[in-house]
Structure 1
């Protein structure tokens, strides 16, 4: 989890996941997903907002 924010109808969470492991690790592909949860913590929606190579700097 890289970000959490409260919204009117629940929560918005950004989760970073390993999508494609490679050797060496620095070439693995990761992705950030924005996840929206209702006030009870139930999943409402999710979407991939970014895909990047491990070790790459933010632009």
Structure 2
């Protein structure tokens, strides 16, 4: 067994893998990652996606999704946390 077989994935590798899995499964393209943190069950990434593109772009509807990973980086699931209009600020 090589030394790389047990190497832990880097944060960048975890995020790349989570993005790829989410986009393939959900059919949505991630515009940005707004959070990434270790949890007691693995990892959680918050992804911002355009759910409804409109013209002008300022009227587009976006959503924040929580993407969950197992401790080894395997995809565990996702859920939508909120929907909002582009440019809408958190209160």
Q: Give TM-score scaled by structure 1 length.
A: 0.92
* Structure 2 runs not aligned, ≥5 long: 1-32
State the Cα deviation string for residues 3-40 of structure 1 (Å, max 9, x = none).
Answer: 01101231011000011100000000000000110122
Q: Give TM-score scaled by structure 2 length.
A: 0.62
Higher RCO, Cα 8 Å, sep 6+: 1
Tell me which of 7, 11, 18 is aligned to 2:43: 11
- Which runs of at least 4 in structure 1 moved beyond 3 Å after TM superposition? none
More helix by share: 2
* Structure 1 runs not aligned, ≥5 long: none
Q: Aligned Cα RMSD in Å?
A: 0.9
Match of residue 44 from structure 1: 76
